């Protein structure tokens, strides 16, 4: 019985908060600051590995139609059966809403998204982590996304982007019992798809507080 009460209390509190939010929708969202968590999935990489990641982000909205997202991702992937890769993304994106759907009062709110990030990548041998190579690259990305507006200040966001990296790629080869990890001498462009799901809460306004 006590366990049920412990679980019910926060659910009732959250329900009350969400109900109150629907009555305080602001028609001018400029200056809104949001904070959230995110999970990522990276597909069609050069090494054919699937990357899975976690991270965090915050948003600063410049106008009703223009929002921005500033994020950090930690992504891991395994290139079976010899090596694994760790990626660290830090970057930003802009999100553009349509004229007819730029308020957070509908269930679905689609947007265009594009941005830039820095990527630190490290490839290591599974059985010998000292055998590793890292590189730093830059990337641009663009795609589509949508908010699923759970409440006026709480959303779940889904996006898919094509991310194009510019830098020296890392390649792995196996010769007998040796795993060779090498970085190319010249930089090149390499792309992959990045899917993101995040949960975000609008905390306060940095400006435009009296409107």
Mean pLDDT for the stretch of residues 46-67: 91
The answer as to whether 188 is a domain residue is: yes
Q: Please check the confidence at residue 24 and state whether its pLDDT lies above 70.
A: no
Assess contact for 71 and 55: CB atoms under 8 A: yes
User: How high does pLDDT run on average in the chain?
Assistant: 85
Structural domains in the chain (count): 1
Of residues 54 and 1, more confidently modeled: 54
The answer as to whether 210 is a domain residue is: no
Closest-CA residue to 167 (of 114, 113, 122): 122
- DSSP one-letter code for 207: S
Whole-angstrom Cα distance, residue 153 to residue 20? Answer: 10
The highest-confidence range among 6-15, 98-107, 186-195, by mean pLDDT, is 98-107
The pLDDT of residue 211 is 53
- Positive or negative, the Cα torsion across 129, 131, 137, 142? negative
Contacts of 157 (CB under 8 A, 6+ apart): 36, 145, 146, 147, 148, 196, 197, 198, 199, 200
pTM of the model: 0.80
The highest-confidence range among 4-8, 31-35, 172-176, 183-187, by mean pLDDT, is 31-35
- As beta bridge partners, residue 196 has 40, 159
Query: Phi and psi at residue 7, in whole multiples of 5°?
Result: -75, -35
Closest-CA residue to 41 (of 199, 196, 198): 196
The answer as to whether 196 is a domain residue is: yes
Helices vs. strands in the chain: H and E counts, helices first: 1, 10
The answer as to whether 100 is a domain residue is: yes
The answer as to whether 7 is a domain residue is: no
The answer as to whether 25 is a domain residue is: no
The answer as to whether 8 is a domain residue is: no
pLDDT in tens, 63-88: 999 999 999 999 999 877 888 999 99
CATH code of the domain covering residue 62: 2.40.160.20
pLDDT in tens, 87-97: 999 999 999 99
Closest-CA residue to 202 (of 67, 109, 95, 91): 67
The answer as to whether 123 is a domain residue is: yes
Contacts of 116 (CB under 8 A, 6+ apart): 91, 92, 138, 139, 140, 141
- As beta bridge partners, residue 161 has 143, 194
C-alpha pair distances (Å), 201 with each of 27, 100, 117, 188: 17, 22, 23, 38
The pLDDT confidence band at residue 12, using thresholds 50, 70 and 90, is very low
Q: Please check the confidence at residue 9 and state whether its pLDDT lies above 50.
A: no
Q: Which domain holds residue 138?
A: 32-205
Q: Please check the confidence at residue 47 and state whether its pLDDT lies above 80.
A: no
Q: Please check the confidence at residue 16 and state whether its pLDDT lies above 80.
A: no
Q: Please check the confidence at residue 13 and state whether its pLDDT lies above 80.
A: no
pLDDT in tens, 128-183: 889 999 999 999 999 999 999 999 899 999 999 999 989 888 888 888 788 888 88
Q: Please check the confidence at residue 28 and state whether its pLDDT lies above 70.
A: yes
């Amino acid at each position: 019985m006590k366990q049920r009460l412990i679980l019910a209390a926060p659910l009732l509190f959250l329900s009350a908060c969400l109900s109150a939010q629907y009555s305080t929708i602001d028609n001018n969202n400029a200056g809104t600051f949001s904070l959230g968590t995110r999970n990522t999935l990276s597909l069609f990489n050069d090494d054919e590995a699937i990357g899975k990641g976690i991270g965090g982000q915050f948003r600063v909205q410049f106008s009703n139609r223009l929002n921005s997202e500033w994020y950090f991702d930690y992504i891991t992937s395994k290139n079976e059966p010899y090596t694994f890769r760790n990626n660290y993304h830090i970057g930003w994106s802009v999100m553009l809403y349509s004229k007819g759907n730029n308020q957070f009062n509908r269930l679905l709110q689609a947007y265009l998204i594009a941005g830039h990030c820095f990527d630190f990548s490290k490839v290591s041998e599974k059985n010998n982590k000292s055998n590793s190579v890292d590189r730093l690259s830059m990337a641009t990305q663009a795609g589509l996304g949508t908010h699923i507006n759970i409440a006026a200040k709480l959303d779940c966001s889904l996006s898919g982007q094509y991310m194009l990296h510019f830098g020296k790629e890392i390649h792995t080869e196996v010769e007998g019992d040796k795993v060779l990890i090498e970085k190319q001498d010249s930089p090149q462009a390499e792309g992959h798809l990045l899917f993101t799901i995040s949960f975000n809460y609008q905390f306060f306004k940095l400006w435009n507080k009296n409107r």
